[in-house]
Structure 1
Amino acid sequence: MIPPPTPHPDEPVELHFAPQGRAARLKFSVLGRPLIWRALRQAGRASADLSVQQRFQLQQRFSRLVLNHLEVRLEMRGLEHVGAGPYLIAPLHEGIADVLCLLQLPLPMRFVARREIFGWPVVGPVVTRLGHLPINPEHPLGGFRDLWRGAEAILEGGESLTTFPQGAIAGIQSDFQRGVFEVARRVGAPILPVAISGTHRIWEHPFAPALRYGQPVALTVLPPISAQEVQAGHLEAIRVRTRRAMKAAALAPNSPPARFFDPDRDGYWDGYRLDIDPDFPELARKMAAHRAAFLRGTA
């Protein structure tokens, strides 16, 4: 299979949907697309002075509307671990539909998102209006500064901030970046780990436009990491332990299949920050060899 062309982070994005099956194509054309775009446009006209509770309710309603239309079979596990917050929520990242599922948690939250998403058609004005936090992962120092300052303001306002430690939706083999752990230490916040599996089957963007109805998704909340542990513990040990626990939950036999990254199928995503978890050594070696060749101009 020829891998998809790798986009540049600064290139404009076109959003395509290809529902799988004749009935799904008809349902999405007649009901789904109008419903989603109408709801997005309404959200984009929301007041710029929404309270925490108003933003929470608006986002949850939109999430429930789309999940119900797509007939997503969402199983939420570990809700007993969810306290009052606010948290730095650290989920696995499989696809765009992660956001819809996470919004069903009983926590007011905003999201950290790649800066280019704020320029997407229809979606961009909504995430801007609702006060989500843009960062540029390809510029680590500036990205960390934006994350740190944004986290302070959002958490102080009583909302949790969701930041995906993998920073990419390539697959479960993506490594965790240190940012969320460093920020949690600096702002004195607890971390709420959340394992997700199955969302990549709902909409396969950016790898393909495939859209599917009726997909099972498991969202598993793990015990929070207290602010005290983040302050006193060894951050690298906490990062590795958390990464392994979350991926073990996503790969559990009773969970929907997780997404696995295959660069020969998915492209190498040159120009993007994409680090491979050393617990997947064969893929880590393959990616390292490709990146070295890319930098030499021989890839």
Structure 2
Amino acid sequence: MLKHLGVRLDVTGLEHAQGGPYVIVALHEGIADPLCLLQLPLPMRFVARREIFGWPGIGPAITRLGHVSINPEHPLGGFRDLWRSAKRIVGGGESLAVFPQGAIAGLQSDFHRGAFEVARRVQAPILPVAISGTHRIWAHPFSPALRYGQRVSLTVLPPISAHDVQGTASEVLRIQTRRAMKAAALAPGAAPARRFDPDRDGYWDGYQLDIDPDFPDLARQMAEHRAALLARSA
């Protein structure tokens, strides 16, 4: 698929993707992200939104392949499904790839806690992967056209050992990993990352989309929008 799309994939840090199994946490920009992650020399399963499992063609295929369905808009149930699946998949020797942003809105979207807490509970190391540029292949809001010949950067960061995962509070681990991954995506020479613009993309009302507090202006704009929405509803 990458060859057909003419994707020019720049991979760095591949030496870090050894051993495992891992809980792989990756930045998320578009549907080509799993294709890029499959270049890692690791057997893996992916976590995806439940709605994708209902898509014609794609849904039945990823169901047969044993990928994991969760509903981020129901955090408790979604975490339970993630945890149970992680125990089975990581325990069977495969890595589990999670997109902790939970959406393809853009770089400024925050990370959910689930992947980090699950890694701690199943005593697995974490492999952080920064991806940028895939949003250019199939633009969001989704265009009916694909763009060919796009450059994508994939940077594998050093893994976080199971010992360090166990010894670090999940919230601290989440923030440290988020900052390291986004810094890699914004590094000089990396393919440009997608930026969330509510005026262009909408506010994703009804979705579990939070803004990274490291982007305070956008976080404030999102909070004001939600407060206004609640006021109108009341």
Q: Find the aligned partners of 1:94 and 1:209 in 2 and give their Cα distance.
A: 17
Q: Find the aligned partners of 1:174 and 1:159 in 2 and give their Cα distance.
A: 28
TM-score of the two chains, using structure 1 as the length reference: 0.76
Q: Which amino acid aligns with 1:240?
A: I
Equivalent positions of 1:112-191 (< 5 A) are: 112-191=47-126
Match of 2:3 in 1: 68
Match of 2:188 in 1: 253
SS in 2 for 1:112: strand
Q: Find the aligned partners of 1:245 and 1:262 in 2 and give their Cα distance.
A: 22
Q: CA deviation at 1:206?
A: 4.2
Q: Find the aligned partners of 1:145 and 1:289 in 2 and give their Cα distance.
A: 31
Query: CA 1:207–1:294 in structure 2 vs 1: closer, same or farther (change >3 Å)?
Result: farther
C-alpha contact 2:141 2:201 (8 A) present in aligned 1: no
Match of 2:24 in 1: 89
Moved more, 80-89 or 208-217: 208-217
Q: Which amino acid aligns with 1:88?
A: V
Query: CA 1:286–1:207 in structure 2 vs 1: closer, same or farther (change >3 Å)?
Result: farther
What is the aligned-residue identity percentage?
76
Q: CA deviation at 1:289?
A: 0.9
Q: CA deviation at 1:253?
A: 1.4
Q: Which amino acid aligns with 2:33?
A: D
- For structure 2, the residue ranges without an aligned partner over 5 or more in a row are none
Runs of 4+ in 1 over 3 A off after TM superposition: none
Match of 1:212 in 2: 147
Does 1:203 find its partner at 2:134?
no
Per-residue CA deviation, residues 263-293 of structure 1 (Å, 9 max, x unaligned), is: 0100111010000000000000000111122
Pick the structure with greater CA Rg: 1
Q: CA deviation at 1:237?
A: 1.6
Q: CA deviation at 1:260?
A: 0.1
Query: CA-atom RMSD, angstroms?
Result: 1.2
- For structure 1, the residue ranges without an aligned partner over 5 or more in a row are 1-65
Query: CA 1:99–1:206 in structure 2 vs 1: closer, same or farther (change >3 Å)?
Result: farther
